[in-house]
Amino acid sequence: MPVSEASSLPSAPAAQDGALVQRLEALCALAADTAGVVEPDALWAVLHPRAAQVLEADVVALRCELIGEPRAWAADGGDTAGLAALAERDGDEVQAVELPGGGAGLRIPLRHRGETLGTLVAGWRGGGGQDADTRRLAELLGSQAAATLANLRTYAELTEASFRRERFFSAMSHDLRTPITAIVGYSELLADGIVGDLNGQQLEMIERISQVSGHLSQLVNDILDLAKLDAGRMEFHREEVRLGDLVDEALVAVEPQARSKKLELRMDIDDHGEDVLRVDSPRVRQILVNLLSNAVKFTERGEVAVVAGSGNGRTWLEVRDTGPGVPPGSEEAVFEEFLQIAAGNKSKREPGSGLGLAISRRLARAMGGDLVARNVPGTGAAFTLVLPAQAG
C-alpha cells in the first residue's frame, strides 16, 4: 500500500474514539428527546432506537409497570417473545444474559433514587456488549431511562389528582348550590313578609343570613371556576361590547358596598367609553367586579376609580383606590390561591376566600390578556387589566 494511502486512514484507537463519541452523542440525544415525554408509547418510540444507537445493539426490550405490557424490538424484525421474558427478571446491577436463539445481551436495571422502576434488555445476535465502555454506557442509559420513567409516573399521578380534584369540586358545587339556593329563597320570602310582618331585629337577622348565603354562593362559583381553569375546560364566548357598558355594569354591582362605606366611585374613561371590544363580556365583568369589590373592601375613606387607556393594539382598565396599598414585594403574592395578604398595618383578615384575584388573573390570561398589581405613590393600590386586541 502506498504511503500516501496508509497515512490517510485513521488509526484503530482513533476510530474507536470516534465511535464512542457517536454513542455518547446518541445518549445526549436521548436525554433531549425524552425531556418532554409524558406518554408510554412516546417513550418507547424514542427509547428503543436511541438505546440501539448508544449500545450498538441488535435487539432491545423494556419491562415497566408504568407502560403496561413488555415491549421488544429487533433490528431484523425477528421474534422478540423471548426478549420480553428476559426483561421480566429483576436485579440491581447490569448483568450479562444469553439471548434466546443465540447471542449475548445485558439486563439493565432502571433505577431512580434507589427504586427499580423497570428493566431494559439490550442484545447482540453475533455476541458482544461485554466491554467496559458498553457496560458503562448501559448504566448511564439505564439512569436516563429511569429518570424519564419517574417523570412519566409523576405526570400520571398529577393528572389523576387533577381529575379527582375537578370531580370533587364539581360534585361539591352541585351539592352545595341546592341548599344555598333554598336558604336564599326562603330568606327573601321572609323579608317580603310572606308569613307575616317582621320586626326590625328579625329583618336584620334575615339580611345577615342573605349576606352569608351570598358569600357562600360566590365561594362555590369561585371554586367551580378554579376547577374549570385547572382542567382547561373554561369556555369563552367573544362578542362586541362597548367598554363604557362593561364598566357601568361593574360599578352598579359594587355601588351598595361603596355607599355603605361612604366611598366615591369614579369612572374616568371619557376618551375610551365608546371603544368597542371583542371579548367575553361576562368574564371581563367578573374580573372588574372582583377588582372593584376588593378595592372597596380595603379602602376606608376616599374613592375607588376606574381609568382606561390603550396602546399597541390593546386596551387596559385600571382600578385604583385610596386604601393602604399592596405590601411592598407582594405584587405577585396577592394573586396566589387561598391567600389573603394583610393590607397596610391591618392584622385582621378581611372576609373572603382569597380566590378572587387568583381567578381574575387566570381568566385574564386565558383570554389573551393579563392582570398586574402595583402601588400608586401617595395614594393606594392599582390593579391593571390588560384586554386583548379588539380583533381578538
* Cβ-count burial 288-303 (b if 16+ within 10 Å, e if not): bbbbbbbbbbbbeeeb
Q: What is the pLDDT of residue 49?
A: 95
129 φψ region: left (φ > 0), alpha (ψ -120 to 50), beta (else) = left
- Answer yes or no: is 136 within a domain: yes
Q: What is the pLDDT of residue 46?
A: 94
Q: What is the pLDDT of residue 350?
A: 54
Do residue 18 and residue 136 come from a single domain?
Answer: yes
- Answer yes or no: is 392 within a domain: no
| The pairing of beta strand 59-63 with beta strand 71-74 | antiparallel
Do residue 25 and residue 146 come from a single domain?
Answer: yes
Q: What is the pLDDT of residue 126?
A: 83
Q: What is the pLDDT of residue 110?
A: 94
Secondary structure letter of residue 61 according to DSSP: E
List, in sequence order, the alpha helices (H) in the chain.
3-7, 12-33, 40-55, 81-87, 132-191, 200-231, 243-260, 281-297, 356-366
Q: What is the pLDDT of residue 342?
A: 58
Do residue 150 and residue 41 come from a single domain?
Answer: yes
Last residue of a domain, one of 210, 231, 252: 231
Instruction: Residue 314: give the domain boundaries.
Output: 239-387
Q: State how many domains the chain has.
A: 3
Q: What is the pLDDT of residue 8?
A: 42
Residues of the chain with pLDDT under 70: 1-15, 341-353, 389-392
- Answer yes or no: is 56 within a domain: yes
Nearest CA-CA partner of 59 in 117, 116, 106, 110:
106
Do residue 131 and residue 17 come from a single domain?
Answer: yes
Q: Which three cell numbers stand for residue 235?
A: 369556555
Do residue 166 and residue 312 come from a single domain?
Answer: no
Last residue of a domain, one of 112, 144, 159: 159
Q: What is the pLDDT of residue 222?
A: 84
Q: What is the pLDDT of residue 286?
A: 93
Last residue of a domain, one of 159, 176, 192: 159
Q: What is the pLDDT of residue 352?
A: 55
